[in-house]
Structure 1
Amino acid sequence: MQKNGNVERRTILKAAGASAAVLGLAATTGCGGDSDSGDGTVTIRYAWWGAEERAKRINQTIALFEKKYPKIKVKTDFQDYVAFWEKFQTQAAGGNPPDVFQNAVAYLRKYDKRGILLDLKSQIDAGNLSLDGFRAGVEKVGQVDGKQLGIPVGSNTMSLVIDQKVFDKAGIKPEQGWTWDEYFKALKKIHDTEKISGDTGYFGVMYLYDLYLRQNGKAFFTEDGLGFDEADLTEWWADGYNRLKAGIITDPKKIQQLRPKSALASGDAASEFTWDNFAVRYSTEGDSTYALAPIPTTDGKQTGQYLASLMLSASARTEHPKEVAQFIDFMVHDPEAAKIMGYDRGILATTEQFDAFKPTDPVSKEIAQYEEDTSAAGVLGAITPHPSGADTVEATFLRIADDMSQGKTKVADAVKQFFSEAKAALAA
């Protein structure tokens, strides 16, 4: 995820990112962790993507970790989202990945296939890492083909962020189980009565399309490829393009002019689909009141939602698997670390950390309540592990949907182009 979730994530991180040098972070050097020192102290390398605020929080948690484990030192490195994966690709190809690093589901099979990821089950069995106490089985996000390739640090799910004032003025109250027909009627009413577009461009959000497919018995990805065909995508993109031309969706040229600000926050749209923990950006960027609404459904029941997660993975080449496991365990279970990180990487994944952090700002409270309500509604399913190449497919979907929305390519041609490029990426 994303004004497509993927665009949003990358834009936020690029806009707010800072270099390690600016923050005085230690440079990442060496192969694997540093060699053991004479006094038994070892050093592990930890890399992640994010912004300056995340870096500050993570450095505070590392200080706590090093106090608790004085024989383990942590060297850190961070980039924005795009630069992180470019650097990681180079490090992995050179046999020099960091010992422990932030990861996401789209990359698990890709780097497991290349022998980069450590199966953490051995460290779990050794008692260095615990899978106890994860909320709603979110630890399963990191499980692929019987391996534990990542440990979630937070959870999030797709949501609909709305301009509450606009929806109230139009007399629209989204409720759990509302349908796509009801959602589109709401957008048209907003367009006709409030004179603004209803949505920023739902048809370009890959993870939203995944939910729609899941509502209809399919999924964006299967374990080894795509779970839908050209007719499915043609229907989705043609419907979106028609609504765009009718003025119900924000003009993509306007969205480009506004970036990195969201068209929802600028008042040029009344709703936007994105990950729930991204909701904090709208109150920062805009001057209205924003709320989280349920995902529309096909049958009035199932939303297709699941919990996704940022996670921590380890290098199969690390010389210090025990220390890496202890570091991950601390990051996902320690209550004091939770108080520092808050919901920066999503709703805290374990019960110890979730209970330890008590959000005081209205947005964080609403994000936590949204996930609790979604879980209580019984609509959450299991995420489908992405095949190798999924990250390239995600970027392809985003790029081609954007070109299609701007009229650079016809829907039929866009669909054919997507399937051609996606199949090539998945076969690589």
Structure 2
Amino acid sequence: MRTSRHVERRTFLKAAGASLATVGLTAAGCGGGSGSAGGGPVTIRYAWWGADDRANRMNQAVALFEKKHPKIKVKTDFQPYVDFWKKFNTQAAGGNPPDVIQNAVTFLRKYEARNVLLDLKPQVQAGNLSTDNFRAGLEKFAEIDGKLLGLPVGSNSMGYIIDEKVYEKAGVTPEFGWTWDDWYAGLQKIKSRTGVAGDSGPHSIMYYYDLKLRQQGKAFFTENGLGFQESDLEAEWTEAMKRIRSGIYTDPKKAEQIKPKAATAGALSAGEFTWDNFTVRYAAEGKSSYGIAPIPTTDGKKTGQYLGSLMLSGTARTKHPKEVATFINFMVHDPEVGRIMGYDRGVLSTTEQFEAFEPTDKVSKQISAYETKIAESGVLEPITPHPAGADVIEAAFLRLATEMSLDKASPGEAVDKLFSEAKTAFTSNA
């Protein structure tokens, strides 16, 4: 059994590496950091987003770091996703950002252009940070124009999280290669047989819409702007409103009332699109049994999926770049941190942590099996570059789709506002 497991894991590394080797990002570099502190104890600030379960795991990992590095203290701060970036924008604009942040590809070009992020390459050259033993391709995930702006902590891909008990009761079985028509027919069957909304409503999820566009040979973003037309999104959102009114999608007012809990975890829907590693969240928040279903397709083959990654980045104004590098190095390489974090932020990025974490619970096994499946099936494609301003547009997409779903704007009005705000975002970040 042990031998079989490691063969499977080596197969996953090879398959994922082959896909990730094609992932490349190009952009301008950003500013470096200031000098490190002397020999006395120092305190660095670390901020991230997530739910309570992630915070509990993170605090355990930070405590372990402080135990092994007693001369470095870490002051932590975590917020829900939207609140995190609001706070960080204020801090960055005021010249007082945290020393280390959890980061994502959506924000690299924006903060690179503003010289907010620390180039970690000098710390690699000084021996304070290692880029060895990353799963193939991941070590360059945040390399921009020769500068290293972060190190990945895990990989993930979009999946479809389902309430397995509701699906079983309705007699619906998702399978790789199912089409959007198959998916919608399943939602209708779930609603009629169980009374539960089939889906929470994917209309506000930018990455869901990106997948649908990629299946059609398009993408949400090009290198310089949006990769779709107003008419494309208006048709998508008009259909979404019909499904809300029919009860196929969750009542948005009810979904808003239980936030930050997800609608599926709150038993308001049978499924929803999100990152595969978020299955951990559903198991912690919900009372049912949850699984990861494959992404529906247009042609039964092309899913439009890619591997993404959360990462840790230093900020350029830190007074302690050496300590920042020491902390990041520990968090991405230490085996015990891998065992603590599990797959909360994705399948672990370094071989030390990947091999240290033995998935024993159902959720982690599901995540590992899902990413192994999509890597081996050859559906993974290169990630679409995110231009500067992508984060503003993602927030606008979520806000405007929510307003539309609450009948505060028509689909056409919401689309017009999105394109207007996108034009402003691209101009101001140029």
TM-score class normalised by the smaller sequence: 0.7 to 0.9
Matches within 5 A, 1:143-154: 143-154=143-154
Worse-superposed segment, 107-116 or 191-200: 191-200
In structure 2, C-alpha distance between the alignment counterparts of 1:375 and 1:321, rounded to whole Å = 36
Output aligned runs, 1:13-412, within 5 Å: 36-37=37-38, 39=39, 42-69=42-69, 72-81=71-80, 82-135=82-135, 137-412=137-412
Q: Render the CA deviation track for 1:370-398: whole Å, top value 9, x for unaligned.
A: 12222122112222232222222111111
Alpha-carbon displacement from aligned partner over 1:285-314 (angstroms, at most 9, x marks no partner): 433322110011112112111222221111
Find the residue that maps to 2:137 and give its secondary structure. Answer: helix
The answer as to 2:425 corresponding to 1:425 is yes
Distance in 2, Cα, partners of 1:61 & 1:197: 38
Q: Secondary structure at the match of 1:328?
A: helix
Q: How far has the Cα of 1:53 moved from its partner?
A: 4.6
- For the residue of structure 2 that corresponds to 1:309, the secondary structure is strand
Amino acid in structure 1 at the alignment position of 2:265: A
Deviations 1:319-343 (A, max 9, x none): 4433322321221111122122223
Change in CA separation of 1:146 and 1:223 when aligned onto 2, cut-off 3 Å: farther
**Contact 2:262 2:282 (C-alpha < 8 Å) held by counterparts:** yes
Does the Cα contact within 8 Å between 1:33 and 1:42 map onto a contact in 2? no
Structure 1, unaligned runs of 5 or more: 1-31
User: 1:171, 1:56 → 2: CA distance?
Assistant: 37
The C-alpha deviation readout for 1:264-297, integer Å capped at 9, x for no partner, is: 2343322111111222333344333221100111
Partner of 2:16: none
Other structure's SS at 1:222 match: coil
TM-score (norm 2): 0.84
Letter in 1 for 2:190: I
TM-score, L = length of structure 1: 0.84
State whether residues 34 and 44 of structure 1, in contact with CA within 8 Å, keep that contact through their aligned partners in structure 2.
Answer: no
How far apart, in 2, do the equivalents of 1:256 and 1:56 lie?
25
Q: Deviations over 1:345-375 (max 9, x none)?
A: 2321112101101133211221222122221
Q: List gaps (5 residues or longer) in structure 2.
A: 1-32
Give the 3 Å change call, closer, same or farther, for CA 118–283 of structure 1 in structure 2.
Answer: closer
Closer, same or farther: CA 381–127 of 1 in aligned 2, 3 Å: farther
Please state how far the C-alpha of 1:118 moved relative to its aligned partner: 1.8
Partners of 1:34 and 1:42 within 8 A in 2? no
Structure 1 residue 127: Cα displacement: 3.7
Tell me the equivalent position of 1:15.
none
| CA pair 124-216 structure 1, distance change in 2 beyond 3 A | farther
CA distance in 2, matches of 1:391, 1:153: 20
Equivalent in the alignment of 1:3: none
Shift of 1:63: 4.1
Per-residue Cα deviation, 1:148-174 (whole angstroms, up to 9, x for no partner): 211111222211011222222333221
Once the two structures are superposed, what CA deviation does each residue of 1:89-117 show, in whole Å capped at 9, x if it has no partner?
A: 23322333233222122221111101111
Shift of the 409–121 alpha-carbon distance from structure 1 to 2, 3 Å rule, reads same
1:200–1:250: 8 Å Cα contact kept in structure 2? yes
- Taking only the aligned residue pairs, the percentage that are identical comes to 61
- Report the more deviating stretch, 245-254 or 124-133: 124-133
Moved more, 284-293 or 227-236: 284-293
Measured in 2, the distance between the counterparts of 1:302 and 1:280 equals 26
Asked whether the equivalents of residues 215 and 303 of structure 1 are also in contact (C-alpha less than 8 Å), the reply is yes
Contact 1:152 1:312 in 2 (8 A): yes
CA contact (8 A) 1:33 1:99 kept: no
Indicate if the aligned counterparts of 1:138 and 1:307 stay in contact, CA closer than 8 A. no
The alignment's C-alpha RMSD in Å is 2.5
